[in-house]
């Protein structure tokens, strides 16, 4: 079965939404294979966000992701990569559909980086690459 790497970002952890996110993953029928609270290192964030290096939001994003702990999650199930992206909603929480994590729980806080509560891998290759960053050896 397929696996994905989910992060509850520092805004989600700080707002006490970790349980809500885990509950939505489980209610959808996916299985939690690993859950760990992590203070992300610079190395982990550079690897995780390598595709965004050089973009205007890159440094604010890395700074934000270093601002507090993140909850790293491996979830599994057929179609879990697309399924969790659907649960998460689109990137901008202002316009993410109601019913999604970002649509229900996120908003614009007037900051340089979009604080949108969760990350989810976008392909099988990304998922396996990202799992190795956050759960070495898994």
Q: How far apart are the first and last CA of the chain?
A: 14
Q: Between 75 and 137, name the residue whose CB sits nearer to ligand GTP.
A: 75
CB of 124 to ligand GTP, least distance (A): 15
CB of 57 to ligand GTP, least distance (A): 4
Residues 6+ apart with CB under 8 A from 92: 102, 108, 114, 116
Residues 6+ apart with CB under 8 A from 50: none
- Contact residue for ligand GTP among 114, 127, 130, 133 (CB under 6 A): 114
Q: Cα angle at 26 between 22 and 27, to 5 degrees?
A: 115
For residue 128, how many other CB atoms are within 10 A of its CB? 14
Tell me, residue by residue from 62 to 91, as one string, x for binding to ligand GTP by CB under 6 A and - for no binding: -----------------------------x
Residues annotated as catalytic are 119
57 belongs to the binding site for ligand GTP (CB under 6 A): yes
4 belongs to the binding site for ligand GTP (CB under 6 A): no
């Amino acid at each position: 079965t397929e696996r994905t790497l989910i992060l509850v970002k520092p805004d989600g952890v700080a707002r006490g939404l970790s349980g809500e996110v885990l509950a939505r993953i489980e209610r959808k029928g996916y299985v939690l294979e690993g859950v760990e609270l992590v203070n992300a290192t610079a190395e982990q964030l550079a690897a995780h966000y390598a595709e965004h290096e050089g973009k205007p939001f890159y440094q604010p994003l890395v700074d934000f992701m270093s601002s507090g702990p993140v909850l790293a999650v491996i979830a599994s199930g057929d179609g879990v990569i697309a399924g969790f992206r659907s649960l998460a909603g689109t990137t901008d929480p202002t316009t993410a559909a109601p019913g999604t994590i970002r649509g229900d729980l996120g908003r614009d806080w007037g900051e340089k980086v979009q604080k949108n509560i969760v990350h989810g891998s976008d392909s099988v290759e990304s998922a396996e690459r990202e799992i190795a960053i956050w759960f070495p050896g898994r």
